[in-house]
Amino acid sequence: MLERKLSIGQEVRLTKTEADNLDYCKVKVIDFSQEEIELKVLEEGDLFSLETGLKLTIDWIDNNGLYKIEAELTSWEEGSQLILVLEVTGQLQRIQRRNYVRVPVTGEVKYRIVEYNDIKDKFKVNGLDKEFSKAAIVDISGGGLKMILEELNGLEEGTFLELKVLAPLHLDIVNGEVVRIRQEEVETGEIKYGIGVKFLDLAQFVREEIVEWVFSKQRELRKKGLI
């Protein structure tokens, strides 16, 4: 099973398995089998202290979701590049896109309604002069985002959107579909609309950028004891 989801030369993420420790590093797969995985460290980040038996989790994403597998550090070689050898101790797990972790954010997104033709033609804007509207983002994940609106402005479930995420990420154009609309009371006591948007046809490198940011935000929030 592992050989169908992992490949030599693939970049993956390595974290400590313990939930309360958020150190991580970026690594590349040098070689692997069902029992052992050899990794080259690319970016140390908050690299954890190396010790034999250290419990680690390897994770990566593809078009089908987030994959993860648990392992233990058995040896390492330090030189011009750090090489890690891990013994596989767990089963490969897949977290579906809809289960991507969402983190709360304070940011902005621009959106406009588009007409979805087909997957090849992507999206066509309903009128070349259609302006983008602004909304506040309240959470985001590798699978989508949630924004808050005072008025629906023509949005309904099934509406397709062209999005520009202004903050906290800066994504030029991503496409999405409104999958959920709920009335919600915000901190001021006002009733507004919570709009759940699912990303569509998202380029793999863009999804990885979002997931990378989400993981980083999770680490920050956990260190502050907020999640």
Note the pLDDT of residue 214: 79
- The residue that leads in pLDDT, 89 or 129, is 89
Note the pLDDT of residue 192: 92
Q: What is the mean pLDDT of the chain?
A: 81
Q: What is the mean pLDDT of residues 32-37?
A: 93
Note the pLDDT of residue 98: 53
From residue 111, how far is each of 46, 124, 192 by CA, in Å?
Answer: 36, 14, 17
Residue 111 has pLDDT above 90, yes or no: yes
Note the pLDDT of residue 5: 80
**pLDDT tens, residue by residue, 16-26:** 877 544 556 88
Identify the top-confidence range among 17-26, 46-55, 217-226: 46-55
Percent of the chain at pLDDT above 70?
78
**pLDDT tens, residue by residue, 78-99:** 888 899 999 999 998 886 655 5
Q: Whole-prediction pTM value? A: 0.61
Residue 13 has pLDDT above 60, yes or no: yes
List domains and CATH numbers for the chain.
2-96 (2.30.110.10), 103-222 (2.40.10.220)
Residue 179 has pLDDT above 80, yes or no: yes
